[in-house]
Amino acid sequence: MSLITWNENFSVNIMEVDSQHKKLIELINELHEAMKVAKGKDVMGNILSELVNYTVYHFGTEEKLFQKHGYAEYVTHKKQHDDLTKQVVAAADKFNKGGNIITVEVMNFLKNWLQNHILAVDKRYAPFLNSKGVV
């Protein structure tokens, strides 16, 4: 069973961003599945690394849209992105150094952060960007 299931409530009505959110959900679900079946360090490390890299890529996409269209909450939104990136990078570094950080708490944190960020924070920029023709 997936940790997070995409549904239309997550949609921000921007095809590229929705697609990226789906990929983030997929990566978190892959990491969760690997953790549940005690996959090897290499497999979990690869998934975690991909999650870190894709998160940075996705945040960059959103931030470019904010800058291009003059989104007023850019600085606040970027700070949330930066904070999560630091946390995920630190977790990946710890894991890569032999630490056992892929726990239920970490998975719940990722799940809750992503859901809350999309549903509460990302949903705020959607009408603004949609009004600028970004769909």
- What's the pLDDT score for residue 24? 92
| 56-87 confidence digits (pLDDT tens) | 999 999 999 999 999 999 999 999 999 989 98
DSSP class per residue in 103-130: -HHHHHHHHHHHHHIIIIIIHHHHHHHH
Structure tokens at 37: 């079946």
Domain, as residue range, for 18: 13-131
Q: Is there a domain that residue 1 lies in?
A: no
Share of residues in the chain with pLDDT > 70 (%): 96
Residue 51 has a CB neighbour count (10 Å cut-off) of: 21
**CATH number reported for the structural domain that contains residue 94 in this entry:** 1.20.120.50
Q: Is there a domain that residue 31 lies in?
A: yes
Q: Is there a domain that residue 5 lies in?
A: no
Residues of the chain with pLDDT under 70: 40, 99-102
If one counts the domains in the chain, the total is 1
- pTM here? 0.90
Place of tokens 């809350």: 116
